[in-house]
């Protein structure tokens, strides 16, 4: 069989073949013709690579569902392992079936950072390896099904039912993703933490339904004053967050001032209750260069929010690093 050749999948009416793409990395160049033929007759799309370069090319063309590795040299830091590690994703690992000459090689493989699904001891019967491949495909299908159900459940809790904004749980997930993207590309990222001033007194002196109306009106103001690429969320209670990708501290402050002004000019009325609403906003930014963590970003924004409250509320405050000292003098 020529290097890199794809075997056609054959099916008959009596067969119930698996489906999926199998990459056979035959770097040790054993005779795997019978194995590849059996996989193809089982309805699988088989790609055979007899060299590291060919394996790399095939991986660039398409991502396989399972890999059968007949290694040339199996060792940590080796090129073969680097290729397999590049295939892996946290939410969608590609199972690997290892062909080994002895159990000692298997022991070495278990210490490597590759999800070896199973192993086959050489010499082997093709049917045995085919069964391992089918088991790996079934396990991967089950994993993907579980991931899909998990994502569906997450989507059901991704929206805050009172305001229609993102939930805090979903926002935290997006914050982590956007933080990694900002670090990787050295792009600015800004976070606004927003708190409704004197909200406890609203609930204490009115009905909870009126408090909910206040939260909805604040949420509406956020929706109309941020870009489509921004993310607004309610954190529970009377606190909100807005994540601003590709936004410098100066731009974030302008956005915060616009939000503060929009809400401070708003009067909420429902039934016999009426209140003018104001918010305090803390701002912190990552400039794409300074070393920090996503936890620091949120913690500093929270400190800035407390400083805005301390200074009389209905304020915007950009984190400066002096907040703890100023609070100590308050």
Contact 18, 42 (CB under 8 A): yes
Q: What angle do CA 69, 70, 75 make, to 5 degrees?
A: 80
Q: Which residues contact 238 (CB under 8 A, 6 or more apart)?
A: 195, 196, 199, 215
Residue 214: closest CA among 157, 272, 277:
277
pLDDT score, position 104: 74
**pLDDT mean over 257-270:** 90
First to last CA, the chain: 80
**pLDDT mean over 52-64:** 94
Instruction: Report the chain's C-alpha Rg in angstroms.
Output: 29
Give me 311's structure tokens. Answer: 């200074």
pLDDT score, position 159: 84
Q: Is it the case that residue 264 has pLDDT exceeding 60?
A: yes
pLDDT tens digit sequence for 7-24: 554 433 334 445 799 999
Give the predicted TM-score (pTM) of the model: 0.54
Q: CB count, 10 Å around CB of 201?
A: 10
Buried/exposed code over 215-249 (b: 16+ C-beta within 10 A; e: otherwise): bbbbbbbbeebbeeebbbbbbeebbbbbbbbbbbb
Buried/exposed code over 81-112 (b: 16+ C-beta within 10 A; e: otherwise): bebbeebeeeeeebbbbbbbeeeebeeebeeb
Q: Which of 65, 197, 230, 238 is catalytic?
A: 238
State how far the Cα of 28 lies from the Cα of 147, in Å rounded to an integer. 35
pLDDT score, position 328: 41
91 φψ region: left (φ > 0), alpha (ψ -120 to 50), beta (else): alpha
Q: Is it the case that residue 2 has pLDDT exceeding 90?
A: no
Percent of the chain with pLDDT over 90: 53
Please count the helices (runs of H) and the strands (runs of E) in the chain: 11, 13
Q: Which residues contact 73 (CB under 8 A, 6 or more apart)?
A: 80
Q: Does domain 6-154 have CATH number 3.40.50.300?
A: no
Q: Which residues contact 84 (CB under 8 A, 6 or more apart)?
A: 67, 69, 94, 96, 114
pLDDT score, position 14: 34
User: What is the torsional sign of CA 244, 246, 249, 250?
Assistant: negative
pLDDT score, position 132: 93
**pLDDT mean over 156-161:** 78
Is residue 295 part of the annotated active site? The answer reads: no
pLDDT score, position 160: 85
Structural domain boundaries of the chain? Answer: 6-154, 168-329
Buried/exposed code over 264-288 (b: 16+ C-beta within 10 A; e: otherwise): eebebebeebebebbbbbbbbbbee
pLDDT score, position 242: 97
Q: Is it the case that residue 27 has pLDDT exceeding 60?
A: yes
pLDDT tens digit sequence for 109-157: 766 767 687 889 999 999 999 999 999 999 999 988 888 887 777 666 6
Q: Which comes out higher in pLDDT, residue 4 or 329?
A: 4
State how far the Cα of 325 lies from the Cα of 28, in Å rounded to an integer. 66
Class of 168-329 in CATH? alpha beta
Q: CB count, 10 Å around CB of 79?
A: 15
Percent of the chain with pLDDT over 70: 87
pLDDT class for 162, splitting at 50, 70, 90?
confident
Q: Is it the case that residue 173 has pLDDT exceeding 80?
A: yes
pLDDT tens digit sequence for 212-231: 889 999 999 999 989 999 99
**pLDDT mean over 256-276:** 88
Q: Is it the case that residue 285 has pLDDT exceeding 90?
A: yes
């Amino acid at each position: 069989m020529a290097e890199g050749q794809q075997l056609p999948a054959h099916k008959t009416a009596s067969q119930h073949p698996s489906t999926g793409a199998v990459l056979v990395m035959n770097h040790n160049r054993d005779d795997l013709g019978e194995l590849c033929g059996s996989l193809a007759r089982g309805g699988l799309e088989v790609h055979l690579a007899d060299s590291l370069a060919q394996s790399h090319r095939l991986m660039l063309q398409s991502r396989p569902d399972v890999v059968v590795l007949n290694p040339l040299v199996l060792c940590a830091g080796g090129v073969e392992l680097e290729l397999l590690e590049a295939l892996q994703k946290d939410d969608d690992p590609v199972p690997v079936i290892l062909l080994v000459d002895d159990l000692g090689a298997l022991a070495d493989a278990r210490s490597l950072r590759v999800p070896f699904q199973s192993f086959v001891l050489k010499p082997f019967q093709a049917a045995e390896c085919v069964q391992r491949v089918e088991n790996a495909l079934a396990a991967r299908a089950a994993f993907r099904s579980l991931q899909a159900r998990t994502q569906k459940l997450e989507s059901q809790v991704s929206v805050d039912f009172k305001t229609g904004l993102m939930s805090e749980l979903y926002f935290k997930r997006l914050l982590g993703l956007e933080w990694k993207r900002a670090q990787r590309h050295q792009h600015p990222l800004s976070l606004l933490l927003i708190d409704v001033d004197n909200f406890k007194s609203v609930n204490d002196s009115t009905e909870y339904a009126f408090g909910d109306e206040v939260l909805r009106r604040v949420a509406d103001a956020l929706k109309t004053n941020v870009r489509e690429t921004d993310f607004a969320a309610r954190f529970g209670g009377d606190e909100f967050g807005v994540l601003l990708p590709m936004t410098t501290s100066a731009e974030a402050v302008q956005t915060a001032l616009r939000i503060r002004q929009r809400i401070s000019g708003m009067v909420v009325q429902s039934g016999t209750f009426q209140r003018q609403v104001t918010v305090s906003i803390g701002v912190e930014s990552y400039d794409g260069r300074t070393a920090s963590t996503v936890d620091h970003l949120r913690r500093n924004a929270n400190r800035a929010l407390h400083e805005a409250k301390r200074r009389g509320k209905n304020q915007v405050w950009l984190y400066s690093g002096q907040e703890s000292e100023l609070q100590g003098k308050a």
